[in-house]
Each structure stands twice: as structure tokens, then as C-alpha cells.
Amino acid sequence: MRDEKKRVTVSKDAIVTMCYVVKDLSESVLDDTHALTPVKFVCGDGTFFSELERQIQGMGPGQKQTVLIPSELGYGKRKTENTLKIRRNEVPQVDCVVGGLLRRLNAKLESEIYTITGYVGEWLFLDKNHPWAGKDLQYDIRIIAVEQGPSKDSPFEQSKLRDLFKPSGKKESDDEK
């Protein structure tokens, strides 16, 4: 008898390697991992929206699927309270360009990132919504590999998982500093 290897499919805690293209509904490409490195993640760890992870459950290596993520299950609706109008002279940067990013402190002295959306005269318009907020997104996904995730009951397997996703070149002693 031939020893058949059980085919591993995407499930919670599986280690998934995939490529994807993200488009808005007008077909404009927002992100494309095909041009870069495939993404490797643990299904269910929060790397991707839970709706996307739910829709790729059961897929195996080589399979493709288009997943639609409505804005409310993705980056949320655009919130007008996340926009701001300030005077240009309040910004330390001389070069303020539309689409550029600006970091500001809020009232709690927490750093927030804004996108410069425009300017009129001495006024600068900022937006801290995610650039894809309010957009329904289409993910064209191709699963490259699926590996069985580690057992939650095994400290050894959990440490292997941490090592797998640790930035390269980082020594354990660096974490302790």
C-alpha cells in the first residue's frame, strides 16, 4: 500500500503561506504581494480580518479564491471625527504634500498618524482614518502552503512557532534587554 500523506488545509492555528492582491470595487489595485514575498501567518492570530480567515478555511495549496470584505468587516466606515483642520504653521515640516504622512500627539500625548488630504491657503486638512476605511475590499488569494500548526498543549511546539515568526537576525538575548 502506498503511504498517502494527509492533505493539510487552512484551519484555525494552521500556518498558512499565501499571496494576494487587494483591490477596491473599482478594480484599483491597493496591495499586491505577488510582486513581493508571500505572506506567512497563523490562521486565527489576527493578522487578517476574521472574515477573510473564515472564507479561506478548507483551502489547500494551489487553490485560488476571491474573498469580498465589506468595509464594516474590514477597516470600518470612514469617520468624520477622524479628520482635522489645522494651520500650516502648526506643522514643523516645510514640505507638506497631499498623500504625505504626519505624526501628531493627541490630548493624551499619544502619537497618531494622519494622512495629508489637502490644503487651502493657510489651512491643512488631515485624516487619521485608515486609507482603506469605507472601502469594500476584494482579496484575490492563492494559497501556496499550509502546515499543521503547533499543539497548544506543547510548550516545545509553541516555542518553535515563536522562533518561526521572530525577525531574522534577532537573538533571544536581544529580547531580554
pTM of the model: 0.72
- State the average pLDDT over residues 37-45: 92
> Count of domains in the chain?
2
The residue among 139, 169, 161, 157 whose CA lies nearest residue 16 is 161
Same domain, 2 and 63: yes
- Please give the Cα distance from 139 to 69 (Å, whole number): 8
* Chain segment 43-98, per-residue pLDDT in tens: 999 999 999 999 999 999 999 999 999 999 999 999 999 999 999 888 876 678 88
Q: What is the mean pLDDT of residues 23-48?
A: 90
Of the candidates 31, 118, 38, the one whose C-alpha atom is nearest the C-alpha of residue 83 is 118
Residue-range definition of the domain harbouring residue 46: 1-75+135-156
Assigned domain for 162 exists: no
Tell me, what CATH number does 121's domain have? 2.40.10.330
- Please give the Cα distance from 39 to 51 (Å, whole number): 17
57 and 140 assigned to the same domain: yes
Task: Dump pLDDT digits (tens) for 113-156.
Answer: 999 999 998 999 999 999 999 999 999 999 999 999 876 665 55
Higher pLDDT residue, 163 or 110?
110
177 in any annotated domain: no
Task: Give pLDDT, residue 35.
Answer: 67
Same domain? For 25 and 94 the reply is no
Among the candidates 106, 127, 148, a domain finishes at 127
Per-residue pLDDT, 44: 92
What's the pLDDT at 155?
58
